[in-house]
Amino acid sequence: MNLTDTIKIRIRELCSQRKITLNKLSIKCGITQSTLNNIYVRPNATMTVSTIKKICDGLDITLAEFFDTEDFDSLEQEIQ
């Protein structure tokens, strides 16, 4: 799995834990719903740290908490 896919899975996981939709998340974090939808629809979607930070703020977690999972720990280095 790559970094982008892992981030997508983590966002879905956190929304599921909090029982909120992507629409509700977009409202909470101040990101348009179309931006969040593009993250999932576009296969090569990339996210900035700023976008991830806004998502974390909307979920009331830190960046450290967002990335503190085994999935991120086990990612291999991506060389392009």
pLDDT score at 78? 67
pLDDT score at 80? 58
The pTM is what?
Answer: 0.86
The highest-level CATH class for domain 3-67 is mainly alpha
pLDDT score at 56? 97
Q: What angle do CA 17, 51, 79 make, to 5 degrees?
A: 100
Q: Six-digit token pair at 25? A: 């998340």
pLDDT in tens, the chain (80 residues): 888 899 999 999 999 999 999 999 999 999 999 888 888 888 777 789 999 999 999 999 999 999 999 999 898 776 55
At a CB cut-off of 8 Å and minimum separation 6, what does 22 contact? 15, 33, 36, 37, 40
Q: Is the Cβ–Cβ distance between 30 and 58 less than 8 Å? A: yes
